[in-house]
Amino acid sequence: MKVSLTRITLLVLMAVPSYALAAVTLDTGAGTPWLSFSAFGTLDEVHSSQDKADFTSNVFQLNGAGYTRSWSAVVDSLVGAQLTANFLSNLSAVVQVIAEQNYNGTFTPHIEWANLKYQFTPDLSVRAGRSVLPTFLFSDTRKVGYTYPWARPPVEVYGLLPLTSSDGVDFSERLHGGNLSNTLQGNFGQSSVQNENGGGTASTKGSYGFSDTTEYESFTLRLSYQHTRLFIAGVPFLDEFRLFGPPGIAIADEYESNPKNVVIEVIGASYDPGHWFVMSEWGHTKANSFVGDKSGWYASGGYRAAQFTPYVTYAEASATSNSDPGLALTGLPSAQVGFAAALNAGLNTLLQKAIPEQRTLTAGARWDFMKNLDLKLQVDHTRLDADSFGTLTNVQPGLRPGGTVNLFSVALNFVF
């Protein structure tokens, strides 16, 4: 029922004629719309060959393709709307609302952006409210599937920071000369989102960071850095390690999650002269908890031939370690050995689920069959490392780490 409602919503928005949208665009008389409305969305179906775990596009989704449904329409499907108001020549406001699968399986809309922007000069602005976290090449349009070539951004990299917005303040300053421009963005704030466990909340406080984007003709380079204090639902059994004295306390302190400093660093570059493109991003996250110390990168390229754009991508997710020897069993009283061994096994299962190690080869094609509409077909072949469940969620009993997963995705994207 929830999926059907989403499909209907998307189809209704797609069917709205352009002259109806003009009714909500009011002009100031000086060439700048006082009030403007836009919308975007994705309708997709994803099939996974793995029937004992789900593939999801982010960790905050309740379920996806695989175990819950062999074919799922909720992995990337969403609908969004954005309202922009220009109160003065240098004062504006933006509200963006998105309906997508939430942690509890509903599609209740949430506010993605809601901020006031003051333009001090044509190149310097400050925003206050909820704004995008400018971490990746496609951070500004991460939810708008029409703006990138793939069915979804590679999860090996974009999964390093599933949070997409922050409540606080940020600034942007642009320097330019000729064909060269440089934009520096800084931000400070906090964020909160329910996780897929249905009751826990992941939140950040005291977050700060920057991104620096250099553009020269068809070339773009982005560097970004984010630092935050992460608060996330803890793992109760970690406290059981403390019963074993200093060695157990050290293990619990290392992997507990409340609160811990998290740092993410990202480097991305793209070259797009028009008929073809290449791009790559690398990111690293150090979480100081069971979330792990991990990295990801991808390289992608494609060629545009009329309405068609075939593309290929290779992506990797790796970690410093996703296992731990745990408590030393030698020397423990015989009555405690079994309990300690069970704790060690639970810890390693936790790390295997939380810290992905995998390699994905992707091939796909985009068809721009109408103005502001595209259709994408994509095939992903993922090989999980022997000691990892990769980015899979809802892992069921009996599934062993390692193996391969094949995905097939078809996605319809629109903007207006």
Q: What is the pLDDT of residue 15?
A: 37
Instruction: Give the residue-averaged pLDDT of 94-119.
Output: 94
Instruction: Give the residue-averaged pLDDT of 55-64.
Output: 92
Other Cβ atoms within 10 Å of 179 Cβ, number: 10
| pLDDT-derived band at 258, boundaries 50, 70, 90 | confident
Distance of CA 60 to CAs 119, 226, 265, Å? 34, 20, 21
* CA angle (53, 77, 400) in 5-degree steps: 10
Distance CA 126, CA 133 (A): 14
| pLDDT-derived band at 17, boundaries 50, 70, 90 | very low
Report CA Rg, the chain.
23
- Residue 322 scores a pLDDT above 60: yes
End-to-end CA distance of the chain: 26
Q: What is the pLDDT of residue 354?
A: 85
Q: What is the pLDDT of residue 280?
A: 98
Q: What is the pLDDT of residue 191?
A: 86
What mean pLDDT value characterizes the chain?
89
Q: What is the pLDDT of residue 211?
A: 97
pLDDT-above-70 percentage for the chain: 90
Q: What is the pLDDT of residue 234?
A: 67
Q: What is the pLDDT of residue 101?
A: 93
CATH 1.10.3470 is held by the domain 44-73+117-415: no
- Residue 108 scores a pLDDT above 80: yes
Which of 43-47, 201-205, 372-376, 401-405 is predicted with the least confidence, judged by mean pLDDT? 201-205
Stronger pLDDT, 196 or 326, i.e. the higher one: 326
For the chain, the domains span 44-73+117-415
| pLDDT-derived band at 10, boundaries 50, 70, 90 | very low
Q: What is the pLDDT of residue 257?
A: 77
- Residue 403 scores a pLDDT above 60: yes
Secondary structure letter of residue 401 according to DSSP: S
Distance from the Cα of residue 406 to its chain's centroid: 20
Q: What is the pLDDT of residue 11?
A: 40
**312 and 298 Cβ atoms separated by less than 8 Å:** no
Distance of CA 413 to CAs 149, 329, 376, Å? 11, 55, 8
- Residue 389 scores a pLDDT above 90: yes
Stronger pLDDT, 237 or 23, i.e. the higher one: 237
| pLDDT-derived band at 34, boundaries 50, 70, 90 | confident
- Residue 309 scores a pLDDT above 50: yes
Q: List all residues 6 or more positions away from 100 whose beta carbon is below 8 Å from its beta carbon.
A: 77, 78, 79, 107, 143
Q: What is the pLDDT of residue 194?
A: 65
- Residue 29 scores a pLDDT above 60: no
pLDDT tens readout for residues 81-93: 999 999 998 999 9
Alpha helices (H) in 176-269, listed in sequence order = 246-255
Instruction: Give the residue-averaged pLDDT of 321-350.
Output: 90
Stronger pLDDT, 204 or 345, i.e. the higher one: 345
- Residue 196 scores a pLDDT above 80: no
| Structural element, H or E, at residue 9 | helix 2-15
Instruction: Give the residue-averaged pLDDT of 188-199.
Output: 69
Stronger pLDDT, 211 or 254, i.e. the higher one: 211
| pLDDT-derived band at 268, boundaries 50, 70, 90 | very high
What does pTM read for this prediction?
Answer: 0.88
Instruction: Give the residue-averaged pLDDT of 236-244.
Output: 89
